[in-house]
A and B are shown apart, each in its own frame.
Chain A
Amino acid sequence: MDGMHDLGGKEGFGKVDYRPGGPVYHASWHERIHALSSLARRLGIFNMDEYRHAIERMAPRHYLAASYYERVLIGSATLCVEKGCVEHRQLARWSGDDFPLSGAIGPGRLNKPIASTFSIGDVLRVKDEHVSCHVRVPGYVRGKTGTVVGRSPASPFPDASAHDMPALSEPTYQLRFLSTELWPGASEEASVYVDLFQSYLEPCTGAP
């Protein structure tokens, strides 16, 4: 989905609030919600892809204003409600406020079995697809061309897995892009490597 979470390359943000060597958590509830969300995944209440997508489904204004652990909280609580672990109004009664949750989930998409895999050195294009489900393609590489520098073992296809649909596993590839091709005339020189599922990629035919 073209959500607020897809931040790579967005402009206008200021300096990073960088403090080396700080504590792991800045408040006790940070650790508590990290633990609860981790427990929910361990218990199989939701998987990692569902969890990421639940956070992406937060209302954009809420997403931008929330701290990281508030996003963990809202994503986890949303899934616990959707999966029938607790009713929303029960949560709201216990917390004493309206306990905002993420927006409703839509349909995902299935992947097809992979006929053959790509190789290191292949020049590939990221498909120019716009999908409203969970997807792990950052918008900044959509339709762009990169070179395969590595391949990772097969993982479940997130676009299906995040929607509790049967996900076939497929390899992911680390592709090298040039920042100057991702944002021509408006970026600093660097190589940018992105790890992409096979279904997101296609052979690059013809001139770039």
Chain B
Amino acid sequence: MNRAHSSIGDHEEALMSRRVEALEKAFEAKGLVPENYFDEFHVKATQEWSPENGARVVARCWTDTAFRERLLGDAIAAVAELGYSMPEHQRKLIALEDTPNVHNVIVCTLCSCTAFTLLGVAPHWYKDLEYRARIVREARTVLREMGTDLPEQVEIRVWDTTADTRYIVIPARPAYTQGWSEAELARIVTKESMIGVSRLDGIGKAPGADAAEVPDGRSGGRVHG
């Protein structure tokens, strides 16, 4: 059982459910809940706000230099070309491009802000106290603990989402993907790599781990949730 609910037992889980039901009852009593609202929200949160969106942006950036220029200049306009939008209050999107010598990673130390329409709803570990407290101060150690042991020469850039600017990391393209199509490339781009806690190009991977773990975008196998 993970920490998303390990600190509370079944009794507490039941209590939380009852409190949410109580609040929902208050909304219902005032007629505030539109018809089909929860079903529609479910589709948005679990299907529309998908890391597959961000993955398409990354794959396009890798394969189309003119798009890459537009993405690095005005990312909101660039992702709109692919049909993606962001909530009105998120007024700017910045694409952070990794290189073999630069590694970007995103956090929100004050709450849990993310570009969720592109990356999907933030994962539980991103919202946990441990990640928020530590990544700004000891990024190298935290990334190593999470499976990415960056060589000393790689510069780490941590982006704290403290206002309404949002970020997406453009991971470095793996060398083994020469000649792949955009659709094949999109299949290997994970939510974690667009937050910046993992890389796709093998840098920072433990020796020997590579061969077995090279994702196969061409077989159609999905590697991200």
A153 at the interface (CB under 8 A from B): yes
| Docked pose: A67 CA to B9 CA in angstroms | 12
Known A6-B109, A39-B37; judge A27-B22 contact (CB<8 A). Answer: no
| Docked pose: A186 CA to B22 CA in angstroms | 46
How many chain A residues touch the partner (CB < 8 A)?
84
B202 at the interface (CB under 8 A from A): no
Interface string of A95-115 (1 = CB under 8 A from B): 111010000000000000000
B82 at the interface (CB under 8 A from A): no
A124 at the interface (CB under 8 A from B): no
Known A17-B3, A27-B13, A85-B30; judge A192-B142 contact (CB<8 A). Answer: no
A8 at the interface (CB under 8 A from B): yes
With both beta carbons as reference points, the residue of chain A lying nearest to B34 in the complex is identified as A39
| Docked pose: A190 CA to B139 CA in angstroms | 7
Among A16, A21, A26, A186, residue most surrounded by chain B Cβ atoms (within 10 Å):
A16
Is the CB–CB distance between B129 and A7 below 8 Å? yes
B41 → A minimal CB distance (Å):
4
Is the CB–CB distance between B127 and A94 below 8 Å? no
Is the CB–CB distance between B94 and A150 below 8 Å? yes
Known A35-B41, A39-B27, A188-B139; judge A99-B22 contact (CB<8 A). Answer: yes
B136 at the interface (CB under 8 A from A): yes
Known A39-B27, A39-B33, A76-B23; judge A188-B137 contact (CB<8 A). Answer: yes
Is the CB–CB distance between B2 and A138 below 8 Å? no
| Docked pose: A86 CA to B164 CA in angstroms | 30
B214 at the interface (CB under 8 A from A): no
Is the CB–CB distance between A77 and B45 below 8 Å? no
Which A residues are CB-close (under 8 A) to B26? 80, 85-86, 90-91, 94
Interface string of B83-115 (1 = CB under 8 A from A): 000000101101000000000000101111000
Q: Which of A55, A80, A152, A193 contacts B160 (CB 8 A)?
A: A193
| Docked pose: A13 CA to B91 CA in angstroms | 33
A137 at the interface (CB under 8 A from B): yes
Q: Which of B89, B142, B161, B164 contacts A16 (CB 8 A)?
A: B142
| Docked pose: A35 CA to B13 CA in angstroms | 18
With both beta carbons as reference points, the residue of chain A lying nearest to B131 in the complex is identified as A16
Which A residues are CB-close (under 8 A) to B41? 31, 34-35, 38-39
The 10 closest A-B pairs by CB, nearest first: A8-B109, A21-B225, A94-B22, A86-B26, A195-B163, A35-B41, A152-B92, A95-B22, A68-B127, A190-B156
Other than the known A10-B133, A91-B23, A182-B136, what 5 A-B pairs have Cβ atoms closer than 8 Å? A14-B130, A17-B128, A31-B41, A39-B33, A136-B162
28 CB-based A-B contacts, threshold 8 Å: A8-B107, A9-B133, A10-B133, A16-B128, A16-B145, A18-B146, A18-B197, A21-B225, A22-B225, A24-B120, A35-B42, A39-B41, A64-B129, A69-B16, A77-B19, A80-B26, A94-B25, A95-B18, A137-B162, A155-B91, A174-B94, A174-B165, A179-B137, A186-B137, A190-B157, A192-B136, A194-B160, A196-B162
Seen from chain B, the residues whose Cβ lies within 8 Å of a Cβ on chain A are 2-5, 7-8, 13, 15-27, 29-30, 32-33, 37-38, 41-42, 45-46, 89, 91-92, 94, 107, 109-112, 120-121, 123-125, 127-134, 136-142, 145-147, 155-165, 190-192, 197-198, 223-225
